[in-house]
Amino acid sequence: MKAYIFPGQGAQFVGMGKELYENNELAKSMFERANEILGFRITDEMFNGTDEGLKQTKVTQPAIFLHSVILAATLGDSFKPDMVAGHSLGEFSALVANKTLTFEDALVLVSKRALAMQKACEKQASTMAAILGLDDATTEKICAEISTEGNIVVAANYNCPGQLVISGSIEGVNIACERLKAAGAKRALVLQVGGAFHSPLMQPAQKELEDAINNTKFSVPICPVYQNVNANSVTNPEEIKQNLILQLTAPVRWTQISENMIKDGCNSFVEVGPGKVLQGLVKKVKNDVEAVSA
């Protein structure tokens, strides 16, 4: 069985999608449609912009979504997913791939999500950090202790065994990094991100996005999506919708998603979009599965 997986924020690079635009008529028309929907030429930022410009959440998220979804569309008849999943933002790409959402509706939601998240980030200084070489339970316990002391910090991305990203207030994350290193973490690296994604600090953005999601048509998909919130295989449109709303403040359970897909018969993962991060994470869960780029 084949799973198609879609990357999230952080995979962007200047020049992304340019080759697709120049060499494929379908891709070109989809990029131009996206420029119309967004009301600005995101293609200029993607193809010829700056790293700094592309790092803005309001640009990054639609850019990665477009690269992923348009690349999938150009695969034509060879694109036959048995299951799909996406890391954080990538879940929207996955929901276009399995026909839960139309390209246009998903792009509007991604743009609203990005703007809402950027607003939430500006409300309170916050950050994230990658914790390497420590078991999940120890990280969770230390984060919970710090949170009860008055600083918000939570487990945000379960990426693979031995790699967990934490998220919260700047002070909370800094305290956590020190305590986690003392508890045996090999490294604790504060990430260059705009804010505390997948934490309670995203609640204002979640409220904004909830209305938009509830007013969007979700169709019965052609194959299951394994969702970030619970790592489970889901085909019910209402359930998909609710999980997507919860996603902003809940952790991304990528380790468990990879495990569940493999357990359900997946022996081939195809990453669609910029970068190769997800295939590397899947390999760390089970190194003998096939994991390639589209």
Among all residues, which ones are annotated catalytic?
Answer: 88, 198
Nearest C-alpha neighbor of 126 from the set 181, 179, 194: 194
Give the E-state strand segments of the chain in sequence order.
2-6, 83-86, 126-132, 153-160, 163-169, 187-190, 225-226, 233-234, 268-271, 290-293
Neighbour-count burial of 121, counting CB atoms closer than 10 A to its CB (0-12 exposed, 13-18 middle, 19+ buried) = buried
Distinct helix (H) and strand (E) counts, the chain: 13, 10
223 and 86 Cβ atoms separated by less than 8 Å:
no
Q: Say how far apart CA 100 and CA 106 lie, in whole Å.
A: 9
Angle 14-165-289 (CA atoms, 0-180°, nearest 5)?
75
Q: Say how far apart CA 151 and CA 131 lie, in whole Å.
A: 18
Q: Say how far apart CA 182 and CA 193 lie, in whole Å.
A: 24
Q: Kindly state the tokens that stand for 4.
A: 């198609």
Q: Say how far apart CA 266 and CA 107 lie, in whole Å.
A: 28
If you write DSSP's letter for every residue of 133-174 in order, what string do you get? SS-HHHHHHHHHHHHHTT--EEEEEEEETTEEEEEEEHHHHH
